[in-house]
Amino acid sequence: MLYYCKTPNGNFGDDLNPWLWPQLAPEVCRENDGTLFVGIGTIFNHKIPAAPRKVVFGAGGGNSGPQFRLDERWKVYCVRGPLTAARFRLDPSLAVTDSALLVRQRLPATEGKKFRVSFMPHLQSVAFADWKKLCAQIGFHCIDPRAGVEHVLRELQATELLLAEAMHGAIVADALRVPWIPVRVYGKFFAYKWQDWTQSVRVPFQPVDLPPIYEHPPLGWKKVNYFFKKNLAGVGMGPEAWNRLGYRRSSPAEIDRILEALQKIPGKQTTFLSDEAWLLKLEARLLEKLADLRAHWQPSA
């Protein structure tokens, strides 16, 4: 049974799981199978259910979250990279790469290149600004991570250069032989998991930093924090400054400066693409391990 992060409005990296694995290994997707298949995503350090068996294939861990013991109920075929392997005290040989590389085995048809430069924001970044509109102002294409796997795959295939805040945008772009540049804009860009993957494909980690753009009110914990402080100030508690607290949207001048900086990235920054021969070796290792997994798959009731 597939175990992955399910996002209400969709998220490309996570949604690769129900798209890819039914095509490559349908037996791991059976809903009535108690064995959990842990594939694509930064989910190795989440609170994975205590199912009879867990099978890990290319997942990654973060540098925070619960640590757990790997006992006889766990079978690890491979993980995203050397940082995940070290954190869970696994044999270094199990650090292959992110299993999203296997999208190369099942690609939708494409009509060739249409976009000179595409920007793919992180899922949570699309809440802060209208990136489709902003990218259009500077002649860039915006790839929405919520748009559906096959749609995103076609847009990545049609792109000449990807500026990626979404890590699985970069991972799949690399797999499709599309040069990419990591761009760090908001706080959900976690360097640890990027380094885990970039070390696996032998590419340096050199993100470009841009100031964030805020066109919409804050969400999540930022919104809670904002209203908590405002309410305390309203009853005479907390610093006086909290009474004057306001959420400041980015000014038009600030947005123009940030977009200008974004527009200059393709001409100023190093582009990245893993070595073709090394990528083919990683793909072959994943396919060998997948064949081994399928040959020894043991469903649980």
pLDDT tens string 274-298: 999 999 999 999 999 999 999 998 7
User: What is the phi-psi region of residue 112: left when phi exceeds 0, alpha when psi lies from -120 to 50, beta otherwise?
Assistant: left
Q: pTM (2 decimals)?
A: 0.88
User: What is the CA 29 to chain-centroid distance, rounded?
Assistant: 21
Instruction: Give domain limits for the chain.
Output: 2-104+281-295, 110-211+265-273
Question: Would you tell me how many other CB atoms lie within 10 Å of the CB of residue 278?
Answer: 14
Label residue 206 by pLDDT band (50, 70, 90). Answer: very high
Strands of 208-209's sheet, edge to edge? 141-142, 115-120, 159-164, 180-184, 208-209
Residue 185 is encoded by which pair of tokens?
């804009």
State what percent of residues in the chain have pLDDT above 70. 86
Question: Would you tell me how many other CB atoms lie within 10 Å of the CB of residue 122?
Answer: 24
CB crowding 4-32: b at 16 or more within 10 Å, else e: beeeeebbbbbbbbebbbeebbeebbeee
| Kind and range of the H or E run holding 3 | strand 2-3
Q: What's the pLDDT at 248?
A: 66
User: Does residue 240 surpass a pLDDT of 60?
Assistant: no
Please name the fold of domain 110-211+265-273: Rossmann fold (3.40.50)
Helices (H), 158-202: 167-175, 191-200
C-alpha separations of 173 from 120, 139, 169 in Å: 11, 20, 6
Q: Considering only 53-62, 173-182, 257-266, 268-277, which range has the smallest mean pLDDT?
A: 53-62
Whole-number Å distance between alpha carbons of 27 and 290? 12
Label residue 65 by pLDDT band (50, 70, 90). Answer: low
Label residue 224 by pLDDT band (50, 70, 90). Answer: very low
Q: What's the pLDDT at 266?
A: 96
The pLDDT tens digits for 118-169 are 999 999 889 889 999 999 999 999 999 999 999 999 999 999 999 999 999 9
Is the separation of the CB atoms in 113 and 158 below 8 Å? yes
Collapsing DSSP states into helix, strand and coil, what is residue 79? strand
Whole-number Å distance between alpha carbons of 221 and 223? 5
Instruction: State the burial class of residue 170 (Cβ atoms within 10 Å of its Cβ: 0-12, 13-18, 19+).
Output: buried
